[in-house]
Amino acid sequence: MENNLKMSPDMWIPLKKSEKDAEKVSRQSLTFWQDAARRLKQNKVAIVSLIVIIIIILACVFVPMFYPLTYEDQILDFANIGLTMDIYEIDGNYFYMNGEYYLIDVTPDGTLLKRHPIVKDDGENKRYIYDFGGKEVIVDYSPYFNAKQEYIKLERQSKKDPSIDLTEAKFNLDNAKKVEIRLEGQEIHSVDNVRNKTYIMGTDNLGRDMFIRVLHGGRISLIVGFVAAFVNFIIGVLYGGISGYVGGRTDNIMMRIVDVISAIPTLLYVILLMVVMGNGMMPIIVALSITYWLSMARLVRGQVLGLKDQEFVLAAQSLGATTKRIMFKHLIPNMMGPIMVSATMQIPSAIFTEAFLSFVGLGVSAPQASWGSLCNDALLTYMMYPYQLFIPAIAISVTILAFNLFSDGLRDALDPKQRK
C-alpha cells in the first residue's frame, strides 16, 4: 500500500503560463441590462438613429422658442419663395421674381427686403410695369398666358367634338416662354442663383416660414407618437398581464373585449371623436389611445402565459407573495425586453397615423401645422413649388426611418440569444 503511494519527481510537470490562464474568466460578468447596453452601443446604425432622433426632438422643442417668427406669421408679399432664387440686377438694384410675376427687392447674398411697387398693372396685355431709378421695367407674361388659354379653350371644345386636334396647342403651351423681363425694350436675364437667407426652407402660399412650420408640425407628431406609446405601455401591460396571469374565464372575456375593439378601424374612432370634440390633436390622441394598446396587451398576455408556470413564480407563490408583487417584481421585469421593443416601434406607427389623418383633413386645423397637413397644403401647387411637399415628406420619412432602425437595434440588443 505504501509503495502505491510513493510519487517520483518525474510525475510532476510544471504548468505552462498559457495553460494557467486557460481556466480564467475571459470577460467581466455583466447583468442582462449591462450586456444589452453593450450590444446596443456596438450597433452603429442604431446609435446614429438615436442621435438623429435626439436632434429632431431637441430642434422641435427648443428652436421655436428662440426663432423670430411663429408658425402662423404671414407675409403675403413673400409667398411661394423657394430655397434658392434667380436674382436680377439693374444699376446696382437686385431683385427676384416670384411665381406670381411680382418683383421683390433683395440683397446680392439673398436676403429679402420688400416687394417692389408696381407702377402699372396692365391686365389687358398681361404685364406689370415697374420703375427702377427712372428706367421702365416690363414683366410680360402674355405668351404663356395666351397659349394656356388657347389650350384650355380647345380642350373644352374637344370634349364635344373629338375631331379637334390638341397636338399643336399642347406644343405651343409647352414651348411658350412663361415670362419675359424687359428693360427699356431689351430682355434681361438673371445674374446669379443664391440661397434664400431670410427663409432657409422657403415659404408657403401665404408667406409663412416653412422651416418653423415643419418644426411645429414635428412637435405635434412627436407628442402624438410618445403619448400613444406611453398609453400603449401602461394599459397594454396591465391589461395583458392581468388577463394572462388570472387565466380561465377572465382571460377569455378580456381577450374577446380586445377582439371587439380591434374590429373597429381607427379612422372611425377619429371621425366619431371629432363629432364630439371637434378638430385638433386631442381626438387623434384619444383614438390612438383606444386602439394602440391592443397589440401590447396580446404580447404581454403571451409572455405571462409562458412565465407564470416557471419555478421562480411558483416559489414566490409558495412564500405567500401577493399577485401584485408577483406581477411587478417577477413577471414584468422578466419581459421588459419585448415590451420596450414593442413600445418603441409604436412611436413611428403613431407618427405615420397622425400624418395620414392630418393629410386627409382629420387632424389639426389651421393655422396649426402638422407634417400631414403641410403635405396636404402643398398638393395644389407641388408642380410649381415642389419643395413645399418634399420638405415635410422628408421629415416624416427620416423620423420614421430613425425610429424603426433604433427599434431594430434595441430588439437585437435585448434578445437573450444574441448574448455571447
Give the Cα separation of 49 and 405 in Å (integer).
Answer: 6
Q: Which domains does the chain have, with CATH numbers?
A: 79-195 (no CATH), 210-418 (1.10.3720.10)
Give pLDDT, residue 54: 93
pLDDT tens-digit map of 302-357: 888 888 778 887 888 788 888 788 877 877 777 877 888 888 888 888 888 888 88
Q: Residue 367: is the preceding peptide bond cis (ω within 30°)?
A: yes
Give the chain's residues under pLDDT 70.
1-13, 15-30, 32, 415-420
**Residues forming beta bridges with residue 96, ordered by sequence position:** 87, 104
Evaluate whether 79 touches 206 at the Cβ level (below 8 Å): yes
Evaluate whether 233 touches 240 at the Cβ level (below 8 Å): no
Helix (H, G, I), strand (E, B) or coil at 370: coil
Helix (H, G, I), strand (E, B) or coil at 420: coil
What b/e sequence results for 178-209 when a residue is b if at least 16 CB atoms lie within 10 Å of its CB, and e otherwise? Answer: ebebebeeeeeeeeeebebebbebbbbbbbbb
Collect all residues with Cβ–Cβ distance below 8 Å to 373 and sequence separation of at least 6: 217, 358, 359, 363, 364, 366
Write the CA distances from 273 to 26, 261, 270, 283, 369, integer angstroms: 59, 15, 5, 6, 20
C-alpha cell at 72: 402662423
- Cα-based angle 128, 134, 138 (whole degrees, multiple of 5): 20
Give pLDDT, residue 214: 92
Give pLDDT, residue 5: 61
